[in-house]
A and B are shown apart, each in its own frame.
Chain A
Amino acid sequence: MKLLLVEDEPALRAVLLESLRPGGYVVEVAADFAQAYEKIKLYRYDCVLLDLTLPDGNGLDLVRALKADNSPAGVLIFTARDTLEDRIAGLDLGADDYLVKPFHLSELNARLRAIIRRRQFQGQHHIVFRDLLVWPEQAEVLVRGEPLMLTRKEYDLLLYLLANPDRVLTKEAIAEHLCGDAVDAADSFDFIYTHFKNLRKKLQEKGADNYIRTMYGVGYKLSSE
């Protein structure tokens, strides 16, 4: 899985790189528009992660260039510009998703996985994790071949965990993923707690024990051991 990360801010670039590598991706970086343009003209990527505001150009022009070349690469835009117009412009040009800075790394991971799933396998891609088998297209979850009945939110939650295995997910990130951006973090902890309790119980009933670990005071983690 080859990714191109276009971000001009060195510190952010570094931390994004660090967070993407454990996912098993090959990540290349471009620090400005010219570099990025050269790379997308020369190489093929599975997904381009793109900052819109670049010192020497507009990231939207990179999306245009990719589309002009009929590139199969997915495009995930992240930017500090959060007006609806920017969002629409980006998505209209053919970007797959749009994240507003600052975002949770786990959210970036989840969206990136969704893009890759859609692009590469036309949705017919299954996720295997320990005893779990998930068919995202049918929203079907199997534990050792047995179907697991989940509510919509529980399923979303599980998918989010699966996109970030072995990664501590903060309560804020989970709440915002489930409930949309503008929810006050303080409001949302109690409902996350309930969802986690239910999801854990359902997994446990099917014999999938100890998948979700609570990190006290921080959040949760999907453990692969």
Chain B
Amino acid sequence: MKLLAATNRYYLALAAVLFAVGSGALYVGVNHVLRHEVGEQLAVRRHEIEQQVRAGRPLPEPPFESGLDVRAGPQPLGFSDMLLRDTLEHESVPHRQLTFVVRPAAGPPVWVTVRKSLVETDDLVRVILTTMLGVLAALLGGAALLNRWLAGRLWAPFQHTLGALRSYDLQQHQPLALPTPAIAEFAELNLALTHLSQRLVADYENLREFTANAAHETQTPLAIMQAQLEQLLQLPALEHDPAAAPLLAELYGATRRLSRLHQALGLLSRIENRQFAAAAPVRLNELLAEKSQQLGPLLEARGLALHLRAPAGPVVHMHPGLADSLVHNLLHNAIKHNEPGGDVTAVLTSNYLEISNPGANPGGDPARFFERFRKHRATADSPGLGLSIVQQIGAYYGFGVSYTFEPVGRRHVLRVQFAPPPAP
């Protein structure tokens, strides 16, 4: 729930409760006052009648049937309410009545009841209540609307900041550029966020530079190590020592792995650095054919069939090196995580390149396969950077890279969508 909606809800609840209590109080209050007034009028009337009787005059004739009632028998004394039938309107009309005893100078005492219709007071209450409730309701609704409108206005800078944060991409190497809104809290927030992003960018730059330098600077010592190990392997003495040679070979293999890791990291870092500005038209179908030929021995060794469905195919504008790396990593990945006797199927259309292969359900979150150093098997020799590179290249050119596992036929499907898919 939005903060504004939440506070609004509380305000509205409070107002509604006040509204209900207020309506009740108003009704009771007005009703009480009016009945009291009617009571007073009846008391005055009683006083008049008593005076009249005391003065020896006869009881007044009732002007209306309902106004005055004189009875010889005892009646309950005091105020009470009753309904009388209005013969004209044919409905029961509430009346307030006051019964008292008068003792005329001659004759027995009589019980006199004076009545007053409450119909007028009912109307009055209704008018008062309607007016008051209407005003209150308008106030309530107005407050809600005003709140909503104000919320939209006042929180606009916050929404803007939020939007900027959401679309913020550290790899653009730009700190956030947030305006300073008039409202102090938001201005402070924006200032703090701007500082934060500046620090982030600086740290990120440092890290990137370090990675790039480290990757570059370690190549030379690695080259020395590798070359010397290779020379060591040539020693004739090794031919007579079956234990030493494999040790050396393993060392040698490890330096190769290290240098491959460096190359992959260096490539990732350069993609993130956006160092691949030059783009050229790349014919993906030709590239696919070339790469599959290069990886032919691997396919052959594993007994994998390759199905290339790449007609003339699209021409994509990419850096040729990155296109090469993209296709290579996709194919290599499909070969590596395949089943014996399986196949690698590459489908190229003008919209996407899809490479699929059979395999066991990997389980887990597909999004995580693109993480760096994410390995299929913990002991695998590869550093697990292939799909990270694919994804980085995709992100660089705005391609959508997605992985799905199709339970039917148990196939891993990696798809690179060149253009955003048309809206369904």
Decide whether A and B assemble into one complex.
yes
Chain A positions within 8 Å of B, measured between CB atoms, are 9, 11-12, 15-16, 18-19, 80-85, 100-106, 153, 167-168, 170-173, 178-188, 190-192, 194-195, 215-219
Verify A101–B328 contact, CB threshold 8 A.
no
Q: CA separation between A153 and B225, bound complex, in Å?
A: 29
Q: CA separation between A81 and B328, bound complex, in Å?
A: 21
A103 surroundings in chain B (CB, below 8 A): 223, 226
Q: CA separation between A85 and B280, bound complex, in Å?
A: 13
**What are 21 A-B contacts with C-beta separation under 8 Å?**
A12-B227, A18-B231, A19-B230, A19-B231, A80-B219, A84-B319, A101-B220, A103-B223, A153-B297, A168-B233, A168-B234, A170-B230, A171-B249, A173-B230, A179-B295, A179-B298, A180-B295, A182-B260, A191-B298, A194-B300, A218-B248
Q: CA separation between A70 and B174, bound complex, in Å?
A: 48
For the complex of A and B, 6 pairs with smallest distance between CB atoms:
A217-B246, A191-B301, A102-B223, A186-B381, A84-B321, A80-B219
B194 surroundings in chain A (CB, below 8 A): none
Q: CA separation between A187 and B296, bound complex, in Å?
A: 12
**Among A83, A170, A178: residue with most chain B CB under 10 A:** A170
| Nearest chain B CB to A97 CB, angstrom units | 16
Q: CA separation between A180 and B292, bound complex, in Å?
A: 12
A190 surroundings in chain B (CB, below 8 A): 301-302
B238 surroundings in chain A (CB, below 8 A): 168
Could you say which of B228, B263, B302 contacts A15, with CB atoms under 8 Å apart?
Answer: B228
Verify B246–A105 contact, CB threshold 8 A.
no
Q: CA separation between A152 and B329, bound complex, in Å?
A: 24
Q: CA separation between A80 and B216, bound complex, in Å?
A: 7
Verify A183–B256 contact, CB threshold 8 A.
no
Please tell me the number of chain B residues within 8 Å of chain A, measured between CB atoms.
54
Verify A184–B381 contact, CB threshold 8 A.
yes
Given A15-B228, A80-B223, A102-B226, CB of A217 within 8 Å of CB of B249? yes
Q: CA separation between A19 and B245, bound complex, in Å?
A: 18
Given A102-B255, A195-B297, A216-B242, CB of A15 within 8 Å of CB of B233? no
- Quick one: which of B211-241 are within 8 Å of A by CB? 216, 219-220, 222-228, 230-231, 233-234, 238-239
| Nearest chain A CB to B27 CB, angstrom units | 85
Q: CA separation between A106 and B266, bound complex, in Å?
A: 25
Verify A187–B336 contact, CB threshold 8 A.
yes
Verify A186–B382 contact, CB threshold 8 A.
yes
Verify A12–B223 contact, CB threshold 8 A.
yes
Given A80-B219, A83-B270, A153-B297, CB of A218 within 8 Å of CB of B224? no
Q: CA separation between A219 and B246, bound complex, in Å?
A: 9
- The closest CB in chain B to the CB of A164 belongs to B234
Verify B297–A191 contact, CB threshold 8 A.
yes
| Nearest chain B CB to A187 CB, angstrom units | 6
